[in-house]
Amino acid sequence: MLPLLGGVFLGWSLGANDAANTFGSAVSSRMVKFWTAAVLASTFILIGALLEGGSGIETLKGLTNLNLKQAVVSSVAAALTVTVMTFLGLPVSTSQAVVGAILGIGLLNRELNVAGLGKVVACWFGTPIGGVLAAVVLYKLLAHAFNRSSLDLVRSDILVRYGLIGAGIYASYTLGANNVANVTAVFVGAGKLSVFAACLVGGGSIALGVLTFSRGVMQTVGRKLVQLDPFSALIVVLAEGLTVHFYTFLGVPVSTSQAVIGAVLGIGLLKGINTVNRRTMINIVFGWLLTPVIASIIALAIYFAIHLQYIPG
Amino acid sequence: MLNFLFKKEHRLETLFFGYLENLAKTQEHFLKAINLCLQKGQCDDFVFLIKQTHKYESRADDFRDEINELMYSRALIPEMREDIMNLLETVDRIPGTMEMILNIMYTQKLTIPEFLAAETKDLIRISIESCDLMGRQIEVMFKRKEGVRALMAIIDQNETHCDHIEQQMIIRLFESDLDPFAKLQLKELIIAMGEISDQSDRVSKRVNILTMKRRV
C-alpha cells in the first residue's frame, strides 16, 4: 500500500482542484449546495473511472517501462510538481506533470515510446482547441433551440439550472474516466495494480479530494465562470465534458482546466467579448511548457537522490 | 409532468401573476376614486374607494414579501432572482404612488379645479393605460413571447404625452387666480399623478432589458 501513497496524494489534489471545473459554477452561484455537488461529483468520478478509465491507463503505461520504484518516483514527482506550481500560483495540468515525470524516468531508462508521446502531446494542444470548438458548436445549436422553445421564463430557468447540474455530473464522469490514468497508470505499468484496481484506487482518491478539499476552489474558480451568464456557464461545462470525453476515447489524459479555458474562449469569440485576458493566456502557455520540464527534472532529482550512497572516507 | 418537483417555481409564478391582478384592482379603484372626486368632490364613496385602494396596495406588499421570501429560499437562478426582485420593487412603486395621490387629496382636502378636470382625466386615463400595458408586457416577458419592444414603444409614447399634459396643467395652474398656497398643493398633486406614467415607463424599460438578457 505504501508505494501507492504518492499516487493517492496526486489523485487527492487532482480531485480537490479539478472538481471546480465541473460543479464550480453551480456551487458558487448557490444553485447547488456544496455537499450535494461534492457527493454527485465524487460518485460520477468513480463511475467514470471504473467504466472508461482503462484506455488512458493503457496509453500512459505504454509510454515507457517502469519498475515499482520508478513508478513511485514518477508519481511523487508529479504530485510535487503540481503542489509547487499551485503554490507559486502557476496554472498546472496534472496530466502534463505525470507525463513529464514518466518522460524523465523514460529518458533515464533510454526507453521511450515516441509515437505514444507524440499522440499525448498533440492531444494537449488539441484540448483547448477542442474546448473552443465544442463551446462554439454547442452554443450555436442549443441557443437556437433555447430561443425557439416555447418554454416560459420560469421553465427555461429550471431547464438551465438543472442543465447545469446535469452538465456537472457529465463533466465529473469524464473527469474520472480521463484523469484516473494520471493517478495510477504508472502502478499498472509496474505490475503493482490491475487495470480495475487502478481505476478503483485512482477514482477513489480523486473522489476523496473532491469530498475533503474542493469547497474553496469550487467557490473561487466557479465564481469566474459564473461571471458568464448561466446559459454560457452551462455550455462551458458541457463543452469541457465533451472535449475531455473525446480524449478519453482516444485514451489520452488531458487537462480539464485547459478544456474549460478553451470553452470560455469559444463563448467569448461568439459573443465578441474578451472572456480570457492576455495574462491568463500567457500563464497557460508558460504552464504548458514548464510543467512537463519541471516534472521531469524533479523525477530525475528524486531518482538520483534515492540512489545516492554514503561512502565512508 | 414534473411539476411536483418545482413547487417553489410554480408558487412564484402564481404569486407574480397574482401580484399583477392585484395591481389591476388597485388601478381600478384608484381610477374610480379620481373620477368620483372629479364629479362629486370628496364624499363618503370617495373615502370608501381610498380604503379599497389602500387594501389592494397592502395586499401588493404581502405578495411582494412572499415573493421575496421564496427568492431567498433559492427559487430560480441567482441572477434571475435579483432581476425579478428588482423588477418587483420598481413595479411596487406604482400602487404606492396611487395611494399617495389619494391620500394627498384626502388629507389636504384638495379638490381639482374645474379648468383642470379634463386634463386630469386625460392624464389619469393615459397613466392607467400605461400601467395596463406594463402588466401585459411583464406577462409577455414571463411567457417569453414576442412583443415586449412594441409595448415599450407605446408606454414610452404615453409617458411623453403625460409629461406634456402635466406641464400644460402646471402652466395653467400658475396662470389661474387660485390662492398661491393651493397652487403649490395642486402642483404637488399633478407631479404625483405624472409619476405613474413615468414609473410605468421605467418598469417597461427594465422589462425590455431583462428580455434581452434572457435571450441567449
What is the interface pTM, i.e. ipTM, of the complex? 0.78
* Residue for grid cell 418554454: A151
pLDDT tens digits, one per residue of A54-67: 999 999 988 888 88
Residue of chain B minimizing CA distance to A149: B144
A277, amino acid identity: N
Q: Cell numbers for B12, please give them.
A: 412564484
B3 has pLDDT over 70: no
**What is the C-alpha separation between A50 and A34, in angstroms, rounded?**
24
pLDDT at site B67: 92
**What is the C-alpha separation between A283 and A166, in angstroms, rounded?**
31
Residue A300 lies in a domain: yes
From residue B211, give the alpha-carbon distance in Å to each of A44, A272, B84: 36, 20, 12
**What is the C-alpha separation between A56 and A253, in angstroms, rounded?**
6
H helix runs in B41-147, sequence order? 44-72, 78-91, 93-107, 114-142
| 8 Å CB contact of B214 and A161 | no
A222 has pLDDT over 70: no
Q: Is A34 on the interface with B (CB under 8 A)?
A: no
Chain B hits for A160, CB-CB cut-off 8 Å, are 77
Across chain A, mean pLDDT equals 89
Residue A312 lies in a domain: no
Q: Is A146 on the interface with B (CB under 8 A)?
A: yes
Give the range of the structural domain holding residue A56, as residue numbers without chain letter. 2-305
**What is the C-alpha separation between B91 and B20, in angstroms, rounded?**
9
Residue pairs spanning A and B at CB distance below 8 A:
52
A216 has pLDDT over 90: no
From residue A52, give the alpha-carbon distance in Å to each of A48, A167, B18, B93: 6, 18, 51, 58
| 8 Å CB contact of B79 and A147 | no
Other Cβ atoms within 10 Å of A151 Cβ, number: 15
Domains of chain B with CATH codes: 3-214 (1.20.58.220)
pLDDT at site B180: 96
A257 has pLDDT over 70: yes
| 8 Å CB contact of A152 and B215 | no
Residue A171 lies in a domain: yes
| 8 Å CB contact of B78 and A29 | yes
**What is the C-alpha separation between B204 and B210, in angstroms, rounded?**
10
| 8 Å CB contact of B79 and A30 | no
Residues 6+ apart with CB under 8 A from A302: A73, A76, A77, A80
Residue A137 lies in a domain: yes
Best residue of A153, A219, A227 to probe chain B, by most B CBs closer than 10 Å: A153
A307 has pLDDT over 90: no
* Residue for grid cell 500512459: A60
Query: What is the least distance, in Å, from the CA of A29 to any CA of chain B?
Result: 6
Of A91, A121, A145, A137, which Cα lies nearest the Cα of A242?
Answer: A137
Other Cβ atoms within 10 Å of A55 Cβ, number: 18
pLDDT at site B78: 82
pLDDT at site A45: 98
Residue A253 lies in a domain: yes
Query: What is the least distance, in Å, from the CA of B90 to any CA of chain A?
Result: 19
B104 has pLDDT over 60: yes
**What is the C-alpha separation between A54 and A249, in angstroms, rounded?**
10
A259 has pLDDT over 70: yes
**Of B74, B143, B216, which is closest to A30 when you measure between CB atoms?**
B74
How many distinct structural domains can be found in chain A?
1
Residue of chain B minimizing CA distance to A228: B79
Q: What are phi and psi of A274, to 5 degrees?
A: -90, 95
| 8 Å CB contact of B76 and A143 | no
Residues 6+ apart with CB under 8 A from A25: A164, A222, A225, A226, A230, A233, A236, A237
Maximum average pLDDT range among A42-46, A158-162, A227-231, B146-150: A42-46
Chain B hits for A267, CB-CB cut-off 8 Å, are none
Q: What are phi and psi of B63, to 5 degrees?
A: -60, -45
| 8 Å CB contact of A158 and B215 | no
Give residue A177's pLDDT band: very low, low, confident or very high (50, 70, 90): very high
| 8 Å CB contact of B76 and A154 | yes
pLDDT tens digits, one per residue of A117-168: 899 989 988 999 999 999 999 999 999 999 888 888 888 888 998 999 999 9
Q: Of all helices (H) and strands (E), which one includes residue A12? A: helix A5-18
From residue B215, give the alpha-carbon distance in Å to each of A150, A152, A210, B126, B195: 13, 12, 34, 31, 30
Q: Is A213 on the interface with B (CB under 8 A)?
A: no
Of A280, A41, A54, which Cα lies nearest the Cα of A171?
Answer: A41
Contact in structure between B123 and B165 (CB atoms under 8 Å): yes
Residue of chain A minimizing CA distance to B14: A154
Q: Stretch A43-59: mean pLDDT, rounded? A: 96
Residue A266 lies in a domain: yes
**What is the C-alpha separation between B58 and B96, in angstroms, rounded?**
9
The residue ranking higher by pLDDT, B6 or A33, is A33
Q: Stretch A286-293: mean pLDDT, rounded? A: 84
Query: What is the least distance, in Å, from the CA of B39 to any CA of chain A?
Result: 44
Q: Cell numbers for A119, please give them.
A: 499522440
Of A196, A240, A208, A177, which Cα lies nearest the Cα of A39?
Answer: A208
pLDDT tens digits, one per residue of A109-119: 888 888 988 99
pLDDT at site A274: 72
Q: Cell numbers for A202, please give them.
A: 485512482
pLDDT tens digits, one per residue of B172-188: 999 999 999 999 999 99
pTM assigned to the model: 0.86
B1 has pLDDT over 70: no
Residue of chain B minimizing CA distance to A140: B216
**Of A151, A161, A231, which is closest to B216 when you measure between CB atoms?**
A231
Residue A313 lies in a domain: no
**What is the C-alpha separation between B163 and B195, in angstroms, rounded?**
9
A245, amino acid identity: H
Query: What is the least distance, in Å, from the CA of A139 to any CA of chain B?
Result: 9
Give residue B65's pLDDT band: very low, low, confident or very high (50, 70, 90): very high
**What is the C-alpha separation between A93 and A50, in angstroms, rounded?**
22
**What is the C-alpha separation between A278 and A271, in angstroms, rounded?**
17
Residue A311 lies in a domain: no
Residue of chain B minimizing CA distance to A144: B216
Chain A hits for B144, CB-CB cut-off 8 Å, are 150-153, 156
B60 has pLDDT over 90: yes
A91 has pLDDT over 90: no
A189 has pLDDT over 80: yes
Residue of chain A minimizing CA distance to B5: A158
Of A63-67, A207-211, A217-221, least confident by mean pLDDT is: A217-221
B2 has pLDDT over 60: no
B189 has pLDDT over 90: yes
